């Protein structure tokens, strides 16, 4: 596939346009596996570097996803999650018509570091329960969650089947700990190697990092989470009202 001087587009952009056309037309439907690198190299008569650049551009656009050990697949359109109230992953996915599942990576009692201690309102070094899970939507890893709970209620939660039981539901319905409000911070960052491995994406891929502390009655923090969401799979949306400042009648 020699570079077309009439378009002045580099080879990777020409290949990218052709693959985008196949995806948008349905020739490559959602969930379909793209041809292998070798097949694409032969079809387009370009270098391996060109194909890899093309694929990485498609990943950044959220059009395809790389599944480690399996290949590259056409991605589902990004989900849109509303940020209007305090909800958990299972509730969010059910609203979107998705099937939520979870894989538990670890659950253990650890000493609270400075950040966790500050979020939970305890002294550094105090034992807390740390739970790490991969949350999946329709079988695709969407979020890697790190949850920290005070030791008393956390030890109870540790014994539950966390592949099916949402922690929010356990706290509210089984352990009489209503969740009233949360402090929520969101930032864009790059996936570390550990997070990337959990989410089955290349290290350095764009992700959303959500820092959330949930409170029970009396503004007591009971759940601190660091949620790593794949940037190619989801968007967050909220609605904001304009702050109105009262202005008195002008004088003069």
Architecture of the domain delimited by 11-74: Orthogonal Bundle (1.10)
Q: Would you kindly state where each structural domain of the chain is located, as residue ranges?
A: 11-74, 79-237
C-alpha span between 101 and 89 (Å, rounded) = 9
Confidence of residue 2 (pLDDT cuts 50, 70, 90): low
Q: Which residues contact 39 (CB under 8 A, 6 or more apart)?
A: none
C-alpha span between 217 and 118 (Å, rounded) = 18
**How many C-beta atoms surround the C-beta of residue 120 within 10 A?**
20
φ/ψ of 240, rounded to 5, equals -120, 140
Confidence of residue 249 (pLDDT cuts 50, 70, 90): low
Q: Nearest to residue 17, comparing CAs of 33, 3, 31?
A: 3
Options 3.40.50.300, 1.10.287.610, 3.40.1410.10, 3.40.640.10; CATH for 79-237 is: 3.40.1410.10
Provide the phi-psi class of 212: left if phi over 0, else alpha when psi is between -120 and 50, else beta.
Answer: beta
Residue 54 is predicted with a pLDDT of 93
Q: pLDDT (tens digit, 9 = 90+) per residue, 25-68? A: 989 998 899 999 999 999 999 999 999 999 988 988 878 888 87
Residue 101 near residue 132, CB atoms below 8 Å? no
Residue 117, pLDDT > 90, answer yes
Residue 1 is predicted with a pLDDT of 57
137 in helix, strand or coil? strand
Tell me the sheet residues that pair with 101. 136
Beta strands 140-150 and 64-67: pairing type?
Answer: unpaired
**Three-point CA angle 210, 214, 220, nearest 5°:** 145
Compute the average pLDDT of residues 130-135.
98
Q: pLDDT (tens digit, 9 = 90+) per residue, 57-107? A: 898 887 888 887 889 999 877 777 888 889 899 998 888 888 999 999 999
* pLDDT, the chain, mean: 90
Confidence of residue 126 (pLDDT cuts 50, 70, 90): very high
C-alpha span between 166 and 150 (Å, rounded) = 17
Predicted TM-score (pTM) of this structure: 0.71
11-74 matches 79-237 in fold: no
């Amino acid at each position: 596939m020699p570079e077309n001087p009439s378009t002045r587009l580099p080879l990777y952009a020409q290949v990218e346009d052709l693959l985008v056309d196949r995806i948008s037309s349905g020739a490559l439907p959602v969930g379909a596996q793209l041809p292998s690198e070798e097949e694409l190299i032969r079809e387009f008569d370009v270098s391996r570097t060109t194909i890899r650049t093309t694929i990485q551009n498609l990943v950044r656009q959220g059009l395809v996803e790389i599944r480690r050990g399996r290949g590259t697949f056409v991605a589902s359109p990004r989900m849109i999650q509303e940020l209007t109230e305090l909800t958990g992953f299972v509730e969010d996915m059910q609203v979107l018509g998705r099937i939520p599942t979870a894989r538990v990576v670890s659950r253990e009692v650890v000493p609270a570091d400075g950040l966790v201690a500050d979020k939970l309102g305890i002294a550094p070094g105090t034992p807390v329960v740390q739970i790490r899970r991969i949350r999946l939507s329709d079988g695709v890893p969407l979020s890697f969650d790190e949850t920290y709970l005070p030791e008393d209620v956390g030890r109870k939660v540790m014994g539950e089947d966390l592949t099916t039981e949402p922690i929010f539901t356990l706290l509210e319905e089984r352990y009489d700990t209503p969740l009233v409000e949360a402090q929520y911070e969101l930032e864009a960052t790059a996936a570390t190697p550990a997070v990337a491995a959990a989410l089955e994406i290349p290290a350095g891929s764009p992700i959303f990092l959500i820092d959330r502390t949930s409170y029970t009655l009396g503004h007591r923090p009971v759940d601190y989470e660091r949620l790593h969401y794949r940037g190619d799979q989801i968007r967050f949306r909220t609605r904001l009202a304009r702050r109105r400042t009262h202005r008195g009648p002008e004088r003069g």
